[in-house]
Amino acid sequence: MGLQFAPLLLFLPWTGSAADRLNQRKLLMLTQATMGVLALILGVLTIAGVIQLWHVYALAFLSGSAAALDAPVRQTFVAEMVGDADLPNAVALNSSSFNAAQMIGPAVAGLLIASVGLGWAFLLNGLSFAAVLISMSFFRLSELHASARAHRTTSGFLEGLRYVWRRPDLRAILIMLFLIGTFGMNFPIFIATMAVNVFHSDARAFGLLFSIMAVGTLSGALFAAGRQKPGLPSLLGGAGVFGIGCTLAAMAPGYWWFAATLIIIGAATLTFGNGTNSTMQLSTEPAMRGRVMALRVAIALGGTPIGAPIVGWVANHFGPRWALGIGAGAGFAAALVAVYVLAHPKEPLLAQ
């Protein structure tokens, strides 16, 4: 996991600049093709029976490097496909398909592994990238909403940092994202410790909790698809509901009560996540979007190695309910950040 997600931070100075400067469609085809080839290599090594741990480490790092470049390009390319007017709805629909895939994909992979073996499942995963490449080759380029490309500079990343620092609204969103992403979105820890240590559930009941939460996230994404342009007020609502959901989950007296709170948490998570994506893109100059979105991805995912050990330590020493309390506190703290910025629209968020 460390090798897979480390490139998000390691290559941050270059990934956002590449998204702003280069042809996004061609760059996406390159990153998708790279990840597909790496998956095929993993499948071939596994089927041949020569796979070793260092192979997995190397492929995880290479795949993570491609994904680090792919993430900001893929998010900003949505605006190039549909235009700014439909961007919030497109982001929400994209999340809907992603979460539907999360509900269906693991089950399909499990059936494949049981029927044809792990290596063939890896091979089929690699071949699936061909569908992405073929579909992108069919794009009608004349209908894309091409945005302004940034000029090549030696301080592209620093320019992006300065741009965000001068924008109290963007700083607020990134701080909110750091709080919830680092201390709130540790769902494997929350669900595992509550299911095993509090409700003494078996593996089947444990897996059902993740499916129930996926229903909440899918519902939140579909709801977001019908909303108008998001902003700090909607992020405030999402963060507040996230805090309330974690509070109710920590107080849940039984398994099914806890499952119900996961629907609330899942919907709030998607509302907040989609809101940060759409708001940051729509309020950012087109030539700066790649660097800003690279910062968003790095903060959203890069904080997990910091927060997960802390939350896990609290769950081990004080109990899972207190760990969920940390998630609730993160949600409420993020909501307070939004309240402060909305109450002081012309003042900087942090002391200079």
Give the C-alpha separation, 53 to 67, whole Å.
21
Q: What is the pLDDT of residues 301-347, one digit of tens each?
A: 777 778 888 998 999 999 999 999 999 999 999 999 999 988 877 64
Structure pTM?
A: 0.73
Q: Which residues make Cβ contacts (< 8 Å) with residue 175, sequence separation at least 6?
A: 334, 337, 349
Q: What confidence score (pLDDT) does residue 225 get?
A: 62
Flag whether pLDDT at 18 surpasses 70: yes
Find, among 266, 274, 198, 201, the residue nearest to 231 by Cα. Answer: 274
Whether 2-140 and 156-343 share one fold: the answer is: yes
Q: What is the pLDDT of residues 52-88, one digit of tens each?
A: 999 999 999 999 999 888 988 887 888 788 877 777 7
**Positive or negative CA dihedral for 301, 303, 305, 311?**
negative
Q: What is the pLDDT of residues 267-308, one digit of tens each?
A: 898 888 888 888 888 788 877 878 888 888 878 777 777 888
Q: How many CB atoms lie within 10 A of CB 142?
A: 6
Domain ranges of the chain: 2-140, 156-343
Q: What is the pLDDT of residues 84-111, one digit of tens each?
A: 777 777 777 777 777 667 667 766 777 7
Q: How many CB atoms lie within 10 A of CB 230?
A: 25
Residue predicted with more confidence, 208 or 46: 46
Q: What is the pLDDT of residues 247-266, one digit of tens each?
A: 999 999 999 999 999 999 98
Give the C-alpha separation, 194 to 153, whole Å.
50
Give the C-alpha separation, 229 to 92, whole Å.
11
Confidence of residue 352 (pLDDT cuts 50, 70, 90): very low
Give the C-alpha separation, 309 to 323, whole Å.
11
Q: What confidence score (pLDDT) does residue 228 get?
A: 61
* Tally of helices (H runs) and strands (E runs) in the chain: 15, 0
Q: What is the 3-state secondary structure (H, E, C) of 275-298?
A: HHHHHHHHCCCHHHHHHHHHHHHH
Q: What is the pLDDT of residues 194-224, one digit of tens each?
A: 988 999 887 677 778 877 888 887 777 676 6
Calculate the average pLDDT of the chain. 84
Looking at the domain that runs over 2-140, which CATH code has it been given?
1.20.1250.20
Residue 273 tokens read as 């996540």
Q: What is the DSSP string of 185-253?
A: --HHHHHHHIIIIIS---HHHHHHHHHHHHHHHHHHHHHHHT-----HHHHHHHHHHHHHHHHHHHH--
Residue 92 tokens read as 């929400």
Confidence of residue 245 (pLDDT cuts 50, 70, 90): very high
**Which class would CATH give 156-343?**
mainly alpha
Query: Cα 226 to chain center, whole Å?
Result: 21
Q: Are 231 and 279 in contact (CB under 8 A)?
A: yes
Q: What is the pLDDT of residues 145-187, one digit of tens each?
A: 776 554 555 456 677 788 888 888 888 999 999 999 889 988 8
